[in-house]
Amino acid sequence: MASNFFNLYTHDFARVAVAAPVCRIADPAYNAEQTILLAEQAAAQGAALVAFPELGLSAYTCDDLFHQRALLDGVLDGLAAILDASTDWKMAVVVGAPLRVEHQLYNCAVVIANGQIQGVVPKSYLPNYGEFYDARQFSSGDYAVATEIDLLGERVQFGSGLLFEVADMPLFKFHVEICEDVWVPIPPSSFAALAGATVLVNLSASNALVGKAGYRNQLVSQQSARCIAAYLYTSAGGGESSTDLAWDGQGVICENGELLAEAKRFTDESNLTFADIDLERLSRERMRMNTFAQSVQRHAGEVGKFRTVFFPLEIGREQPMALKRCVERFPYVPADARRRDDRCNEVYNIQVQALAQRLTTSGLKKVVIGVSGGLDSTHALLVCARVMDKLKLPRTNILAYTMPGFATSERTLKQAHALMKLVGCSAQEIDIRPSCIQMLKDLNHPYAEGQAQYDITFENVQAGERTNHLFRLANHHGGLVIGTGDLSELALGWCTYGVGDHMSHYNVNASVPKTLISHLVRWVAESGVIGRNDAQVLLDILGTEISPELVPGTADGQPEQRTESTIGPYELQDFNLYYVLRFGFNPSKVAFLSHTAWKDREQGRWPDGDHVTRNQYDLAAIKKNLGIFLDRFFRTSQFKRSCVPNAPKVGSGGSLSPRGDWRAPSDAQSVVWLEELRSIPVQA
């Protein structure tokens, strides 16, 4: 089957839905009709799975009516109607029904696909407390003897230990449990996840109580996180009996602890809630966390009890199907203002705590830092200021040096001095040009003879002289050299080996990407955490074009070197870094996600607060810059990452320390990534 790059199923996503139909008590024909209507809508939207509430064909609040043959026969007729309608649906449907099996009545989930019943799962835990009387009508599926039953003329699999795997989507294996099953200390879905289920489904009929919806959200979220799975929860709503209870029709879809979608509660109409789940992400997280495999081994007895039912869905991948999922343009920076402020506060304090600990254990009370007037050194200096406050040391113990070279602009030099004044540190300017000239003379470099040759040697002499000064100043004053280079630069190898942004005694920025540093600087300016003096200099620094300033600029004062012209826009490269480093996705999937994030929506903030970026990147630009990233990351830059200074890890997006998240050979090639990159089209 040919795959379309623009189809979400091509990239191991799957569209799922939870349904909350309005029901009628003891009217299976009506309930089946509502089920079919919603299922057809879900199928039209390209869903692979749709789940309906517990006992949805009869209604949950039938009480002793469940023992009336007329009702149970009507449920079978309703089930037959759904079965007939499902022939043309390229998806699995899970409906709730009371079923008679070997003289006992079970509260069941019936899995239907391709016009056939694929299996029946009985409820394991039957609540008999408070307002619940399940054990009055039903038997527990855990004690059922039958493993197969006759249902509507078919011999079908039966039992609580069933898994359902879509043959043409091997990462899509799901398990069904019912209501109370997820409320117990060890839900059946926990063992199902260890047995390979990536999607967990819960058919529920949980009544509405004050505060209960929030608790259910937490329950579903935490179960999806513990199991590293997607969890679909759907609950009974309108039409259920109000004799003693009320019903809200809550529907929740979570993925590994993250809420993807939530249904509107207390509606008067039937409704569907969709989400696109990332099956590959779940698989890779389980593969990365080796303790998941250890849990499989520890519980091998329970895991071994599961049986898998295979069936195809033949979901079309030939036509485009856009991803209906929010993909943040800035994965390191939350788009929500409150979450963004919380993130900045936490990252800042992680950096502060780590540096304070290093100074305390080393016995040193001074730090030495080079201040360029650019973003990275600005944020590192702000961290140092807060550390001195925390340790109750004067900020004059920060020995800050701005060291203009051959290409330092008037703007950045002024910003460096203004920043040091704002912080209140010890500030000094050291002109490195005389020592650089001496080095260039020693090398017989043409620039020393007056020729305008601005090569790598010319650049690195300046970077080296700055670092040499900083380390010797630290020796002289008894201080610690603070590194300023960030995660983005380290990923792209945009640093000079052994000097410059590569080397220090301790680097507070090493696992903070450039896009996040921009927001950190703004957050510091707005929050006043280092003092509420005039912070305009911080805003000026945010508006300065990113440049190493190692090559003289143009006559009008513009920098000759524009970092992003060489290595690509940081907002794209940070996106690439996150999905390559954190999840190991193929280039085609990274490009698909990037295209989804950037194609037509203006989301995220970069770099100035409430201003929404106006940048739009088409697929050609995404592919080009991803190619730059892949080659630099895998082939040319690892040797620099193999010997980086100590630094705190600040987020799950990873660090590139060889002692932490990333161990890789310096001699690797980028061939396999670039080859896969070629499969990406250049236009939609």
Binding-site residues from annotation for ATP: 370-377, 484
Which of 99, 79, 93, 196 shows the shortest CA–CA distance to 146?
99
Amino acid at 468: N
Known binding-site positions for deamido-NAD(+): 460, 489, 494-497, 640
Known binding-site positions for L-glutamine: 129, 206, 212
Residue 46 to residues 4, 112, 317, 324, Cα–Cα distance (Å):
14, 16, 10, 11
Q: What is the rounded distance in angstroms from the CA atom of residue 74 to the CA atom of residue 599?
A: 50
How many CB atoms are closer than 10 A to CB 30? Answer: 18
Which of 603, 556, 592, 600 shows the shortest CA–CA distance to 677?
592
Which is it for strands 479-483 and 366-370: parallel, antiparallel or unpaired? parallel
Amino acid at 512: V
Structure tokens at 493: 């190898």
Known binding-site positions: 129, 206, 212, 370-377, 460, 484, 489, 494-497, 640
Are 486 and 512 in contact by the 8 Å Cβ rule? The answer is: yes
Are 619 and 6 in contact by the 8 Å Cβ rule? The answer is: no
Helix boundaries (H) for 138-211? 188-194
Residues with catalytic function: 54, 123, 179
How many CB atoms are closer than 10 A to CB 114? Answer: 16
Give the phi and the psi of residue 42 in degrees, each rounded to 5: -65, -40
Give the phi and the psi of residue 275 in degrees, each rounded to 5: -155, 150
Structure tokens at 51: 């789940």
Residue 186 to residues 57, 128, 178, 608, Cα–Cα distance (Å):
28, 18, 14, 47
Q: What is the rounded distance in angstroms from the CA atom of residue 166 to the CA atom of residue 316?
A: 14
Q: 3-state DSSP call for residue 98?
A: strand
Q: 3-state DSSP call for residue 306?
A: coil
Q: List the 398-402 sheet strands across, edge first.
A: 426-429, 398-402, 366-370, 479-483, 506-507
Amino acid at 31: N
Q: 3-state DSSP call for residue 616?
A: coil
